[in-house]
Amino acid sequence: MTFTLPRAVYLLSVCNGFLFINQSLLITISALIGFELADDKRLATLPMALQFAAIMVTTVPASLFMGRFGRQAGFLLGNALGITGAIIALISLFSQSFEGFCVATVCFGMFAAFSNYYRFTAAELVNEEQKSVAISWVMAGGLLAALIGPNLANWSSKMFDTEPFAGPFAVLIFVYILSIATMLAARLPAPVETANTQPVRSLGEIITQPIFIVAVVCQMLGYGTMNLVMTATPLAIQAQGLGLDSTAVVIQWHVFSMFAPSFFTGSIIKRFGLIPVLICGVIAGVTAVGVNFTGNSVAHYVTALVLLGISWNFLFVGGTTLLTDAHQPAEKARTQAVNDLIVFSTVTLTALSAGALHHEFGWRAVNMTVLPLFALTLAAITWLAFVQKKDRYET
**Around Cβ 267, how many Cβ atoms within 10 Å?**
14
Lowest mean pLDDT of 71-80, 238-247, 337-346, name the range.
238-247
Question: What confidence tens digit (pLDDT) does each residue in 187-233 have?
Answer: 888 766 555 556 788 889 999 999 999 999 999 999 999 999 988 88
Q: What is the DSSP letter of 346?
A: H
Eight-class DSSP state of 327: S
Torsional sign, CA 188, 193, 196, 202: positive
Residue 1 is predicted with a pLDDT of 42
The domain 7-189+204-394 is placed in CATH, from the list 1.20.1250.20, 3.40.50.720, 3.40.50.10490, 3.30.420.40, at: 1.20.1250.20
Residue 2: per-residue pLDDT? 47
Q: Contact, 300 vs 292, CB < 8 A?
A: yes
Of the ranges 152-156, 174-178, 341-345, which one carries the lowest mean pLDDT score?
152-156
Residues whose CB is less than 8 angstroms from the CB of residue 136 and which lie 6 or more positions away in sequence, other chains included = 262, 263, 264, 265, 266, 267, 269, 317
> Which tens digit of pLDDT belongs to each residue from 281-331?
999 999 999 999 998 888 999 999 999 999 999 999 899 989 988 888 788
**CA–CA gap between residue 267 and residue 344 (Å, rounded):** 27
From residue 103, how far is each of 53, 54, 291 by CA, in Å?
Answer: 12, 10, 36
* % of the chain with per-residue pLDDT over 90: 45
How many Å apart are CA 10 and CA 119, to the nearest integer?
A: 11
Distance set, CA 320 to CA 29, 244, 266, 269 (Å): 28, 33, 11, 12
Q: Which of 13, 182, 152, 172 minimizes the C-alpha distance to 105?
A: 172
How many angstroms separate the Cα of 158 from the Cα of each of 87, 162, 164, 165, 257? 18, 9, 6, 9, 28
Q: What single string gives the DSSP state of each residue in 139-206?
A: HHTTHHHHHHHHHHHHHTTTSSTT-TTTHHHHHHHHHHHHHHHHHHHH-PPPP------SPPPPHHHH
Q: Output helix, strand, coil percentages for the chain, rounded to the nearest 5.
A: 85, 0, 15
Query: Mind listing the pLDDT tens digit for each residue in 115-147?
Result: 999 988 998 898 878 888 888 889 888 887 777
As a whole number of angstroms, the distance between CA 280 and CA 348 comes to 25
Q: What is the mean pLDDT of the chain?
A: 87
**Of the candidates 169, 116, 180, which has an alpha carbon nearest to the alpha carbon of residue 142?**
116
Q: Once rounded to an integer, what is the mean pLDDT over residues 219-248?
A: 87
* CA–CA separation, 93 and 90 (whole Å): 5
| 78, pLDDT greater than 60 | yes
Does residue 19 contact residue 113 with C-beta atoms inside 8 Å?
no
Q: Check whether 43 has a pLDDT greater than 90.
A: no
Q: For residues 353 and 243, what is the distance between their CA atoms, to the nearest angstrom? A: 23
347-377 residue pLDDT tens: 878 877 887 888 888 899 999 999 999 999 9
CB atoms under 10 Å from CB of 96, counted, come to 11
**Mean pLDDT for the stretch of residues 368-390:** 94
Rounded to whole angstroms, how far apart are CA atoms 99 and 122? Answer: 36
Whether 289 contacts 367, CB under 8 Å:
yes
Amino acid identity for residue 181 in this structure: A
Rounded to whole angstroms, the Cα distance separating 21 from 252 reads 10
Classified as helix, coil or strand, 241 is coil
- The conformational region for residue 50 under phi > 0 = left, psi -120 to 50 = alpha, else beta, is alpha
